[in-house]
Amino acid sequence: MLAELLSFNLFALFLVFARVGAALMLLPGFGETYVAPRVRLLLAIAIAVLVTPIVEAALPALPESPIHLLLLLAGEIGIGIFFGALARVLLSGLFVAGMVISYQIGLANAFVYDLTAAQQGSIVGNFLTTTGLLLLFVTNVHHLMLGSVVQSYNLFEVGAPLPLDDLAYAMTHMVAKSFVLAMEIAAPFFVIGLTFYLGLGLLGRLMPQVQVFFIAMPVQIAIGLLIMAMTGIAALSWFVAQFQEGYVNAFTLG
């Protein structure tokens, strides 16, 4: 009897770890490349140990067939990846906004390695992504992300077929929301850029002998940095608010 109890508890812990660990691979702040894999592993195990007694009653028994066990684990890993990918897609809106802003202010060719995106990106995008990630933890939004993984057991029953159509719809909606969020953050730079380039065109027509490019480049960068300083706090506050709203509303779609 003791052996059966230990076997069931270990199976329940492993099943919860499959969903929690898959989510932590992608959740912003937890699944970054600069976070040591051992730290993520220990955090996932710790969360699984805390969550298992809460959801243990809703977990199925150990399957008799290895095929059924693999299907059960695949479903749990898929749900964890889905929850982590939703948050990651929302965070990528800052990366897109940074690239658009860089094109508008003349810093598109200044690339640096973005640790959050794990690829080359613009300086503005790196700044926005890093600052936005910091604000998510300062405002305790990471509690919302971790809590959503725990609450997912009320939304997705363990062992039940995955609603792939609802998952696809929610992910599509999140991608669209992330792109709209990026355009909203970069909207002031569109207005300033359009006005600036219109003025340069008129100047080039009125004074063809003036080297407009050499005059405009430092002015364009200076104006862009000034606008960023004026709108940065509002843009990042809007991102945090939209991140919370979008991440919560994603699970009511479909």
Token pair recorded at residue 155: 């939304």
Token pair recorded at residue 245: 């709203």
Q: Kindly report the number of other CB atoms within 10 A of residue 42's CB atom.
A: 11
pLDDT the model gives residue 66:
81
Reference 97, options 239, 212, 237, 240; nearest CA is 239
H-type alpha helices, 36-121: 37-55, 66-105
Name the residue ranges covered by the structural domains of the chain: 2-252
Q: Give the chain's residues under pLDDT 50.
A: 1-2, 5-6, 253-254
pLDDT the model gives residue 251:
60
User: How many residues appear in the chain?
Assistant: 254
The pTM score is: 0.80
Phi, psi of 226 (to 5 degrees): -65, -45
Mutual angle of helices 37-55 and 2-24, in 10-degree steps:
130
